[in-house]
Structure 1
């Protein structure tokens, strides 16, 4: 059982009517799901003047640029539970693909097309999440150039527990699209190759026919599609909800959340409108900016990504508090990945990051 204590200056309700001239910090365990305390600073905890060492807020400017090779996935952050990749495809997959290492989640940042799978095809467009279970054979067919954020997971992607919100909260089951059984569309080739990823290596298997030959299926393992634009955020006009209420998928040791347009808290209630400062000591936090006006961050555009590792504070930029007063709603869309184990940046990430991002709080 928690032993709740308090001392000095504090609020009756977290994130509401913060003492004048003070800044609230949330010091929490297990991401936003565990025990928590709130500290009220006379000076914001991000007013550093210098940081020496590897632990600092990090940022990738819009990533789908000339530094990103086309038609391949580039790993950017990883640990033993997941790998975060980005890909800019200008043409369809050359071969079919199957992963024996990971379940895969595609977030379509931009573009249109379809993914043909063992279970049938799924049409995709901007804002779609597509889940491909491990062991599923598939091929990506482009209609237009496609920009993808891909998460490879050692465990399955599952839906969050809605609890007292009820089963229709966040997104209704009817918003989830599943494929209808169909054979593959390519039927005029002499041979078909399937690239299979196992222990990080590719084995290529060749068939004299299209490998998508399923005429029907049943069961509880299958690809799914969900649009971020169908996500229904949990809001309160009197209280700033923690990011955990935006959880869209749950996997072992990490979660994926969807931030979508929503009404902001009412200024008259004294509720904080911008994200509170936090050190989130048990999780690394990654935020991919999809579209909209990201008013809590300066100089962040669609396609950018921020990485806030465990142990260093982060929160809104200084201008955000002033800018939020007149705003009544946010139009931003973003995907957050919170990982329990530390994420390791790839060489590509380190070579392309904005090295001065930590200075943006000065």
Structure 2
């Protein structure tokens, strides 16, 4: 057998469930030990204790939890923690976690009197709170809470938010962002491409009252800003054709893959993919119906991926002490799974109502000083 081949059937030793995540042997706790983010070879281990029943943790693999909400409330904090030291508080993304493939930022924009262009990568925004108009090279889009906005590298754009708090999660990808292959599910599964919205061209003001003005484009390259000025509105596009553009999909238009008899792995909820990371959406769905089937995320070890979860709305039944606007980070190599109360609580409900965004990164992430300011240092003990 070559190295690329795998056995048709798994080997079995001792006590084990015939079907993973269903009818666990009495008194055991199942752990999924899997490669390639649940896509690769897998073994299920049946233990006598939850793998998160630790007494203490020393070292960098300790699980992390961050409350991002306070970061958006201080203009000084926004500038100091911005990803490129911007002096423009109207748009100062605050980097939380990053590696060579992806960076996660927290953004609370105000109306921008300048345009922005990312020459480092694609920008994927999840609108946690707020809404407004996004002006782009390709036209304008009205956006609202629950929208994903996918903005290709090199696109010139600016936010014109509406009233009320604005809180966006920015997932910056240093490779092209695409959607996963649906395979046997068919092209209309998860979301029908017809649900995707793209910008509409509209007339842009060229010379406002009072005479000509100078228009600025702030271009980020290698996390430094270059400012380019024009005597005309740089969004002076009057037409375009092609298959590369800004687009939007709302989480309400994403239909999760379901199984009444089996708890599906997180990979079944993939929304976007890029080099060395994936973006998943966890959305309201019915719980598994079959008696004996697990209803909560199973214990697992992050072997190949760092796992980040941003919690946006609803009741996060698998975690205690987690609310909207918070983020958890479980590095490669350390276990995690449901909190102790989650398993019995799941048996009393028929549905989940949570909305959460997950980023699984193949290469280890690093936290920024801004993240460390917002960290709940006792999160590792929350499984007790």
Quick one: distance in 2 between partners of 1:187 and 1:15? 63
Question: 1:201 aligned to 2:221?
Answer: no
Could you tell me which of 307, 320, 333 is aligned with 1:311? Answer: 333
With structure 1 as the length reference, what TM-score do the two structures score? 0.97
Write the distance in 2 (CA, Å) between the matches of 1:292 and 1:186: 44
Instruction: Return the offset for 1:63.
Output: 2.7
Q: Select 2:300's aligned residue among 260, 278, 291.
A: 278
Q: Provide structure 2 residue ranges, at least 5 long, that are not aligned to the other structure.
A: 79-88
1:20-75 Cα distance to aligned partner (Å, 9 max, x none): 11111001101111111100111110100011111111001243454653641100
2:15 to 9, 23, 34: 9
Q: Which residue of 2 aligns with 1:361?
A: 383
Matched, 1:238 2:261: yes
What's the offset of the Cα at 1:86?
Answer: 0.3
Secondary structure in structure 1 of the residue aligned to 2:281: strand
Q: What is the match of residue 46 of structure 2?
A: 40
| C-alpha contact 2:68 2:374 (8 A) present in aligned 1 | no
Q: CA RMSD in A?
A: 1.3
| Aligned partner of 1:330 among 345, 352, 358 | 352
- Give the distance between the partners of 1:186 and 1:107, measured in 2 at CA: 30
Gaps of 5+ in 1: none
Residue in 1 aligned with 2:150?
Answer: 131
Q: Deviations over 1:298-331 (max 9, x none)?
A: 0110010000110110010000011111111100
Q: How does 1:58-137 map to 2 (within 5 A)?
A: 58-65=64-71, 66=73, 69=78, 71=90, 72-89=92-109, 91-137=110-156
Contact 1:280 1:310 in 2 (8 A): yes
1:216–1:330 Cα change, 3 Å: same
User: Partner residue of 2:192?
Assistant: 172
Q: Which residue matches 1:254?
A: 277
2:247 matched residue in structure 1? 224
Equivalents in 1 of 2:337, 2:371: separation in Å?
A: 22
Aligned CA distance change for structure 1 residues 183 and 100 (closer, same or farther; 3 Å): farther
Distance 2:119 2:219 in 1: 7
What is the alpha-carbon distance in structure 2 between the residues aligned to residue 295 and residue 50 of structure 1?
Answer: 24
Give SS of 1:269's match: coil
Aligned residue pair count: 360
How far is 1:187 from its partner? 4.2
